[in-house]
Chains A and B, each alone.
Chain A
Amino acid sequence: MDPETAVNTLADAWSWLTTSANWSGDGGIWNRLGQHLFLTVVCLLISCLIALPVAVVLGHLGKGGALAVNLSNIGRAVPTFAVLVLLLLTPIGGYGEWPTIIALVLFAVPPLLTNAYVGMREVDRDVVRAARGMGMTGGQLMLGVEVPLALPLILTGVRIAAVQLVATATLAALAGGGGLGRIITAGFNLASTAQVVAGAVLVAAFALIVEGLFEAGRLLVPGRFRGGGSG
């Protein structure tokens, strides 16, 4: 496509975004944004509730390391789109948003588990021995020493999981799920490049805002809780 056409498409995408009719109603931007936000937040909470206690206890005990670390690699090798479609074709597919929610949680758990486990294991062994020497019980050691020291990496895992959730929720649109991705798939069905691009801009902005919020949060907390730049 020549540059002029590309520029015209961008202008059309802009006018699509600034048309108020596209923001209201069932398939409108506000509704899709709400669905996307809801899916991301709810699934992040579910995933944290599943992954973090398991990772913290395993890390404290020093067991199951191979599984916790390899889970991320397995999660990367399995295509998100394939899992979404497979879930859709199982009996679960008949229950509204459940295939989407399960797929989202499945792909958010590995980074949470791996980072939290590695964080727990990387706590300075001298500190752990000192805490034991002071007479701390296993539970006190875990919650009072190891978890606070592992917090930077735990939060890095939460951030990676959140960005992953936004991406997976977008893909869910291909398999009929709700969220901002639906604006893109609807654009493809209407052969409207302008709408496809407008939807993509919204999704990209949403993902970058989520990443930006975590980055801002990292800079606001006290220095000792700060993790590395990225995972």
Chain B
Amino acid sequence: MTAPPDDCLARNEWLCGAYLSSRREILWDATVQHLQLTVVSVLIGLALAVPLALAARHRRWAAGPVLGVTTILYTVPSLAMFSLLLPVYGLSASLVVAGLVLYSLTLLVRNILAGLRAVPEETRQAARGMGYGPLRLLLAVELPLALPAAMAGLRIATVSAVSLVTVGAIVGYGGLGNLIYSGMNTYFKAQVLTASVLCVVIAVVADLLLLLVQRLLTPWTRRQP
């Protein structure tokens, strides 16, 4: 009879190199799913948030309902949000994406709207005086000036989405959250710690990448004294 292997996996240690090497594929697949869910949700959220924020900016009556509804959506806890969508989407990745879209939508609409509202009236009048039509005013003046606030919202929304994907484990589509969930049930310390650390690393890297994009897109914000 062979003795059971005496490595960090058998001793169930928190830090375990053998775990990293033997489960490389599982970790990779979970990370890819995590990234896919995050990116798809934030992009859909962004595509919906821009027109909503513009509507709230230019149609006075739309601002109240848009801000009110998004605030209510944001108050609903994530587990309840995913559960409320269950009758519509069933146990699917779409359910997780739909829930995350609703959260990122809220953060993005608020920030884009704040950015648009912060464009000085004199700037707008100067552009109109130079003969800018409404569309050119929006694309060439208002949106670029709202960009720093919008990017701040995008960073918050992305970091939040990375963290919230883990809750998708309840329906089996939680990226690294799936590993945390199964690791909890089997008391597998190395798996839980590794997946958790990877989540935080993804969030920090995504935040830094977006910060870099923001600096490249808004060179004028750095030329201040």
Contact = CB atoms under 8 A, between A and B. Distances in A.
Contacts of B20: none
A196 B86 contact: yes
Contacts of B79: 167, 170-171, 173-174, 181, 184, 200, 203
Interface string A187-229: 1100001001101110110011001000000000000000001
B47 interface: no
Given A77-B207, A197-B87, A203 B77 contact: yes
B80 A89 contact: no
A66 interface: no
Contact of B80 (A6, A80, A82, A207): A207
B33 interface: no
Could you say which interface size class chain A belongs to?
A: 35 or more
Contacts of B181: 81, 85, 174
A167 B78 contact: yes
B193 interface: yes
Contact of B170 (A76, A163, A174, A193): A174
Given A89-B187, A171-B77, A193-B87, A78 B200 contact: yes
Given A1-B88, A76-B160, A197-B86, A204 B77 contact: yes
A215 to B, nearest CB: 10
A78 B181 CA distance: 16
A197 B81 CA distance: 9
A196 B83 contact: yes
Nearest to A163: B75
Range of interface residues on B (Cβ < 8 Å): 35 or more
B111 interface: no
Contact of B192 (A89, A184, A211): A89
A182 to B, nearest CB: 11
A204 B84 contact: yes
Given A81-B166, A207-B80, 13 more contacts: A6-B87, A77-B200, A77-B203, A79-B166, A79-B177, A82-B177, A82-B192, A167-B77, A181-B77, A199-B80, A200-B80, A208-B75, A208-B76
18 contacts: A1-B87, A77-B162, A77-B204, A78-B163, A78-B200, A79-B164, A81-B169, A170-B78, A174-B79, A174-B170, A175-B184, A184-B83, A197-B83, A199-B83, A200-B80, A200-B83, A207-B75, A230-B110
